Structure 1
C-alpha cells in the first residue's frame, strides 16, 4: 500500500548466471592471481629476461579477464536479453575465460617446475653421483667382455662396440665436471645454470650406460648369430642336395649355377675365418640361398609349407640380427652416420614389423629377407660413414700433429684428450658420441656463457 502512495514498486530479482559461467569466472580470476604470484617468484629466481613471456601472457590474460567480467556484467544488468542474446553472452564469457587459462597455465606451470628443480638440485646431484659410480663400476666388465669379443670375432665384426668402454669413461668424466659445475652454480645462487648442468650430467650418464649395455648385448647377439648360422648352414646343405636331385631329373643351367654358388657360400661359411664375422657370413649365405630358392620355386609348384616355415624362422632370426647390428652401429655413432643408413634401417624395421601380418608364408619369407637385405645395406652404409669419419680424423691428425692433438700444448683437448696415439682404435667414436650429447645441449645454448666450464677431459 505504501509503495503505491510513494510511487515505488518492489524491485525485480537480479538475473542469475549459470553455474558453468560462474565457475569459469572464478577459475579464470584465480588463474591470473596465481600466475601473478608465480611471476613474482620466477622473476626473483630467474630474472626479468627469462620471464618476459610469462609477463606478456599475464598482460593478455588480464585483458581477456576484463572482457569476461564485462560480458558477465551485461548478463546481470537490468536490461533484458532474449534467450539467444543470453546464450551468446554466456558463450563469450566461457570463451574468454578459456583463453585466460590457455595463456597463463602453461608458462606458469613451467616456471613452477623449474623452481622445484632448483630446490631439488642438491638431491639430484647426489643421486647422479651415485649413478655415476654404478656406471663407472661397469667399465671394467665391459672391457673384459670386449677383450673376449676381440679374440673370437674380427675387427670389422665388432667395429660398432670397439670404442664403447673408452667413450663411456670419457662421458663419465664429463659427468663429474658437470656435477661439480652444478654444485658451484647452486652455491652461488645461479640456480638456472645449475639446473642446466644437472640435465647435461643426467644425459651423459644415460649415454654412458647405453654404451656399456651395447657391449654386453653385442656379445649375446653374436652368439645368437653363430647359432643361426649353424641352422642356415644345415638348411642350405639340404637345399643343395634337393637341387641336385632336381638337376638329375631335369638339367637346368640356371639352377646348376645357383647350386654351385650356394655350395661355395656354404664352404666359405664353414671356415674358421668366416665364423669371426657371423653377421656378414649370414648375409652372403642368405643371398646365395635365396637365389637358389627362387629358381627352384619356378620349377616346382608343389606345396612347401613346412619347408617355408623353416626358412621363414631362419630368415626372421637373421633379419632380427641384421636390424640389431645396423641399429647398434647408428645409435652408437650418431655423429658419424648419415641419412642413407638410417633410411634403410627404418625401411627394414617397418618390413620386419609387418611380417606377422602376412598370411602367405612365401610372402612373409620374402618380406623378412627383404628386411634383412635392407638392414644389411644399412649396416654397410653405416660402416662406410664410420670409415670416412676415421679417415677424416687421420687427416686432421696428420695436419695438426702425429699424436692426434692440436699441438703439444693442447694434447688433452677435444682433438686428442682420450684419443689418438693412446690405444684408441680409429679414434673417431668418442668425438661422435660427445658431439651427439653436447652438440644440441651444451653448444646449442644449455651451458652457453658458463665461463668456467671446461670440456677438456684431463
Structure 2
C-alpha cells in the first residue's frame, strides 16, 4: 500500500511539474511577442502621426506608454524567475501567471487602439479618390437642384404653407451645402500639399458630410411630394371609413363614451379643408385617424361591457363587506395571540389589508369596478388564509401535557381543560367569530 501511495504522489508531482514547465514557456513566448508588438506599433505610430497628425493618435500614444510601463513589470518578474535566488514552485507559478495576464492585457489594448487608427489611415490613403468623388457628387447634385426647386413650386401651389414648411427652404440649404463642400475639398487639397495632415483630414470629413447632407435634403424634397400624394389617397379612404363608422355607431350601445367619440369624429370631419383649398394632408390624416380609432375603441368597449355586464356598486360593496368581516376576524385572532402567531399569518393579513385598501377607490368608476370586485374577493381569500395559518400556529403552540384533558386526568381535569381550550379556539374563534358573530 505504501508503494502504491508513493507512486501516485510521484505521478501527481510529475504532472504538476509538466504544467509548470508549459506555463513558463507560454509566459516567455507571450513576453517576446508583446515586446515585438510594441516595437512594431511604435513604427506604425510614427507613420500614423505623419498621415493623421498628433490629435487623432493621442489614444494610441497613451496606450503605448501604459503598455511599456506594465511590460517593464513583466520583464522584472521574468528576471526574478532566473536570478540566483532559489524559488518555490508556487512563486514561479504566480509570476508566470502574472506575466501572461500583463501580456494579454497589452495585446487587447493595442488591438483596440490600432483598429481605430487603421480605418482613419485607410481613409487618408484614399483621400485623393474621396475628394474626386466629392467633387463629382457636388456636380451631380447641383444638376438636380432645378428639379428640386420646381418640385417645391408645385408643392407650394397644392398644399398649405404649414404642410410644406419642413421642405420649403430645402433647395437653398442644399445649394449652400454644395458650395461649402467644394470649398472644403479645396482646403483639404491645399492642406495636404502643405503637409498639414490633421487640418487636411478635418476638411475632407467636412466636405464628405456636406455632400451627404445636401443629397439627403434633395432626396427629401422628392420623397415629400410622393408621401403627400400618398397621404391624400389615404385620407380619402379614412374619410369614407369614418362616415361608415358614424352610421354603425347608431347601432352601438348608447353610452357616454360612444357619444363623446362620435362628437369628436364629426368635428374632425367638419374641420377638413374644402375641395380646392390648400390643405395639410399629413395633419388632417393624423387628426382624422386618431378620432376614427377613438370611436372604434369606444364601440368595442361598449359592446364588451354589454356582453359582460359591469357589477353594480351594491354588489361590489357586498364583496368588500365580506372581505372586511374576514379581515376583522383574522386581525382579532392574531392580536389576541401575539406570542403564538408566526410570520406567515401576519404576512397574509397585511396583504389582505393592502388589497382591500387598493380596491376602495375603484368602486365608483365603471372602468375599474370589475377589478375592484376581484380585489375584494382576493382580500377575503387572503384574510381566510391568514386565519387558517393563525389557527395552525395556535394549535402547534398549545401545551401537550397529558394532564390537560388527557386520559390520566380525573375529576374536573378529565376530558377537560385541553378540550375546553380546543373548543374555545377551534369552535368559538374559527366557527363563532367567522359565522354567528357577524351574521
Provide TM-score, normalisation by structure 1.
0.55
The 3 A distance-change label for structure 1 pair 203 and 156 is same
Query: Partners in 1 of 2:204 and 2:172 — Cα distance?
Result: 22
Query: Partners in 1 of 2:258 and 2:59 — Cα distance?
Result: 72
Which position in structure 2 is the counterpart of 1:214? Answer: 220
Whether 1:69 and 2:69 are equivalent positions in the alignment is no
Which position in structure 1 is the counterpart of 2:144? Answer: 138
**Shift in Å, 1:138:** 2.2
**Shift in Å, 1:192:** 1.8
**Shift in Å, 1:195:** 0.9
List per-residue Cα deviations over 1:28-83 (Å, max 9, x = no partner).
11111012213433455566677665445433322322222232334445665444
Query: Partners in 2 of 1:258 and 1:49 — Cα distance?
Result: 62
Question: Matches of residues 22-421 of structure 1 in structure 2 within 5 Å?
Answer: 22-44=28-50, 54-76=60-82, 81-108=87-114, 110-111=116-117, 113-246=119-252, 255-256=258-259, 258-269=261-272, 271-272=274-275, 276-301=279-304
Provide TM-score, normalisation by structure 2.
0.57
CA contact 1:181–1:197 (8 Å) conserved in 2 = yes
- Bigger share in helix: 2
Query: Partners in 2 of 1:95 and 1:145 — Cα distance?
Result: 64
CA contact 1:31–1:100 (8 Å) conserved in 2 = no
Bigger relative contact order (CA 8 A; separation at least 6): 1
Could you list the runs of 5+ residues in structure 1 that have no partner in the other structure? 1-13, 305-458
Q: Aligned-pair RMSD on alpha carbons?
A: 3.3
SS in 2 for 1:134: helix
SS in 1 for 2:164: coil
The 3 A distance-change label for structure 1 pair 118 and 151 is same
Moved more, 216-225 or 287-296: 287-296
**Shift in Å, 1:205:** 0.8
The 3 A distance-change label for structure 1 pair 19 and 271 is farther
Could you list the runs of 5+ residues in structure 2 that have no partner in the other structure? 1-19, 308-439
The 3 A distance-change label for structure 1 pair 35 and 271 is same
Larger radius of gyration: 2
SS in 2 for 1:271: coil
The 3 A distance-change label for structure 1 pair 198 and 147 is same
List per-residue Cα deviations over 1:198-236 (Å, max 9, x = no partner).
000111111111111111221222122122212211211
SS in 2 for 1:162: coil
Q: How many residues align?
A: 288
The 3 A distance-change label for structure 1 pair 299 and 92 is closer
CA contact 2:242–2:292 (8 Å) conserved in 1 = yes
List per-residue Cα deviations over 1:285-306 (Å, max 9, x = no partner).
23433443344334322899xx
Query: Partners in 2 of 1:220 and 1:48 — Cα distance?
Result: 48
CA contact 1:31–1:105 (8 Å) conserved in 2 = no
